[in-house]
C-alpha cells in the first residue's frame, strides 16, 4: 500500500511557468522527501524537509510541509524542458523504509 497521494496525477505547463505539486500522507513522519524520475529510470533526490520544518528552498525548488494537515507541496519556479519527469513524495516514519506516493507526471512544453 502507498501512503502518499500526489495531486495532480499529471500536469502540463509552458516553459517558464511555475509548477506546483501536492502530496498528502496518513501517518506521523520524521521527514518528507521529494524525488524526480526520468522515463522509468532511477530516482534523483531533490530535497528533504524535516517534520519540524515548514519551508525549505533549493535553487528553483520550494517545498512546504504542514504536519497538521499531513500535506506537502513542491513548487518548481521558471520551469524548463529538462524538468519534464515524474515527481514523487516519500515519507519516512522511522521504520527503516520510505513510503512513496504514485507520483505526478510533469510535462514542460517549449
Partner 1 sequence: ETGVTQSPTHLIKTRGQQVTLRCSSQSGHNTVSWYQQALGQGPQFIFQYYREEENGRGNFPPRFSGLQFPNYSSELNVNALELDDSALYLCASSLEGGGAYNEQFFGPGTRLTVL
Say how far apart CA 54 and CA 73 lie, in whole Å.
Answer: 11
User: Which residue, 2, 1, 19, is CA-closest to 89?
Assistant: 2
Contacting partner 1 (CB under 8 A), which of 54, 57, 80, 97? 97
Contacting partner 1 (CB under 8 A), which of 4, 19, 72, 106? 4
Q: Which helix (H) or strand (E) holds 89?
A: strand 85-92
Contacting partner 1 (CB under 8 A), which of 40, 68, 69, 110? 40
From residue 82, give the alpha-carbon distance in Å to each of 47, 48, 86.
18, 21, 12
Q: How far is the CB of 93 from partner 1 (least distance, A)?
A: 10
Could you list the residues that contact partner 1 (CB under 8 A)?
1-2, 4, 30-31, 33, 35, 40-45, 48, 50, 88, 90, 92, 94-103
Amino acid at each position: 500500500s502507498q501512503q502518499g497521494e500526489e495531486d495532480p496525477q499529471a500536469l502540463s505547463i509552458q516553459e517558464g511557468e511555475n509548477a506546483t505539486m501536492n502530496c498528502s500522507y496518513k501517518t506521523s513522519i520524521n521527514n518528507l522527501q521529494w524525488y524526480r524520475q526520468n522515463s522509468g529510470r532511477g530516482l534523483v533526490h531533490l530535497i528533504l524537509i524535516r517534520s519540524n520544518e515548514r519551508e525549505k528552498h533549493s535553487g528553483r525548488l520550494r517545498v512546504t510541509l504542514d504536519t497538521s494537515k499531513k500535506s506537502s507541496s513542491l513548487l518548481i519556479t521558471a520551469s524548463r524542458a529538462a524538468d519534464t519527469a515524474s515527481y514523487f513524495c516519500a515519507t519516512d516514519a522511522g521504520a527503516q523504509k520510505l513510503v512513496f506516493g504514485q507520483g505526478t507526471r510533469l510535462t514542460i512544453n517549449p
